[in-house]
Structure 1
């Protein structure tokens, strides 16, 4: 059953603006297995115990992701490996992978997602199937990350996305598991804030991490937007500060994050943090995070 939680109507006026320090508190960053050296090089720029998500991408082995988790833990961060349901070949493979993450990297949190294969490669068709398997609880996983899609999903209609989110909420709450929601990245604060308002009205009070694209070339940002189905109209690009005619220019999320700070209402919208996708490199994103406060003065 859904929790019976009263959520105030969202107010986006200036008096309720979310302080910079609150939005950046306990931010997270995402890497792949090949980014371990970059993470080590940027480690002095990131706060101790920062959550480091380790994505599951095509062509990257379990060994690479376990090694990335080990590196993140050694550097003093909290590794959060992704488990892509449709990429798991068998229950035995999932069991062995979870055991390695726990044994080798002392993992306490996981992010579960269906994954991009159209047809499951094994017994798990989506993240709900992973949660229902019972293996996560078996290994003492205390916190689960799930995905949110403020601008929709290229393969799933919007009403179904909300239905699935509510089902995950019910399942995780009944199992006594802590969870948070990390969104796809965006260039436009408007749909993100509207989505958060709707989530809260559903009675879902879990912390939300808003996906933020780290500094990268305009060409790179547009490429990832196309892959992920993120809105990238000329109007949105202009609002974000991107110029389609200057594809090699580097663009950062200053405008996007500043608007989130200005418009998010903490009393109405609950715990909201940032999750960084370092499309232009871990180092560049870490430097942006460090420099953003002084750049706003």
Structure 2
């Protein structure tokens, strides 16, 4: 696959509290890039909406997350979407189930958010859902595929464009196999493949444990990490090299989605240096 295509139009996951770091790095990020704003339990709707407004003001495309089980009522969901659209020009949203075992309101999962009908009525054009190349903490493999297919079909029926954004993984071969299966099942929507930005190895290990991402010794090795050097810093160059080498036209539209665990500026710097090293055009 053309490396430029893979690296062009990358997206970033940026929490509300990291917006100042995004502003510092903004000049090195292509205008219009998708900035995904996670639904963190320690950030309220006002913080998330302020982040979406700031992302739009910086010239990027805000994609706020909505966590089904954390939303207390349909009115709360409707208010957030309405304000996001009118105050920040939001056209992209991302839906997840969320961490609580018991829903705080009427939405038990991301499918119920999609089926609320609120997104298309508010003018949302792209609705993102999660993909899981590694194991899922609750669902088995067959159930994962079935649910993903159903959610994409529901989004498309409602006149919106499905976008699949995956959890990060450390093993490019797992990612490639997952993409191949996705396309074999006839799910041909665009994918943004989760990549951990450069960070301390201990930090990466902590996030992997929190997110249920596999990180065994062999996987660390494939990622270019020696278990004898846990105090160092690791970037995703081995992962991206292997991914780019293995991708074909049959894998469809695939771009990278960076989780900047080591900081937004560090990830943007790594991307710029990687592009330069491979002779790729800068934005």
TM (norm. structure 2) is: 0.96
Q: Which segments of 5 or more consecutive residues in structure 2 lack a partner in the other structure?
A: none
Question: Matched residues in 2 for 1:222 and 1:60: separation?
Answer: 24
Partner in structure 2 of residue 40 of structure 1: 23
Q: Which of 263, 270, 274 does residue 288 from structure 1 map onto?
A: 270
Measure how far apart 1:240 and its partner are: 0.8
Partner in structure 2 of residue 63 of structure 1: 46
Question: Matched residues in 1 for 2:89 and 2:152: separation?
Answer: 25
Question: Matched residues in 1 for 2:53 and 2:231: separation?
Answer: 35
Partner in structure 2 of residue 235 of structure 1: 218
Measure how far apart 1:230 and its partner are: 1.1
Answer whether contact 1:108 1:143 (CA < 8 A) is retained: yes
Answer whether contact 1:215 1:279 (CA < 8 A) is retained: yes
Partner in structure 2 of residue 11 of structure 1: none
Measure how far apart 1:46 and its partner are: 0.5
Measure how far apart 1:119 and its partner are: 1.1
Partner in structure 1 of residue 253 of structure 2: 271
Partner in structure 2 of residue 94 of structure 1: 77
- 1:144 aligned onto 2:127: yes
Q: Which of 182, 194, 199 does residue 182 from structure 2 map onto?
A: 199
Answer whether contact 1:151 1:191 (CA < 8 A) is retained: yes
State the Cα deviation string for residues 209-234 of structure 1 (Å, max 9, x = none): 11000000000000011111111111
Answer whether contact 1:218 1:243 (CA < 8 A) is retained: no
Question: Matched residues in 1 for 2:211 and 2:143: separation?
Answer: 18
Describe the SS at the equivalent of 1:42. Answer: helix
Structure with the bigger RCO (C-alpha within 8 Å, sep 6+) is 1
Measure how far apart 1:26 and its partner are: 1.3
Partner in structure 2 of residue 187 of structure 1: 170
- Following TM superposition, the consecutive aligned residue runs of length 4 or more in structure 1 with deviations greater than 3 angstroms are none
Question: Matched residues in 2 for 1:185 and 1:158: separation?
Answer: 17
Alignment length, in residue pairs? 279
Question: Matched residues in 2 for 1:68 and 1:145: separation?
Answer: 18
Q: Which segments of 5 or more consecutive residues in structure 1 lack a partner in the other structure?
A: 1-17
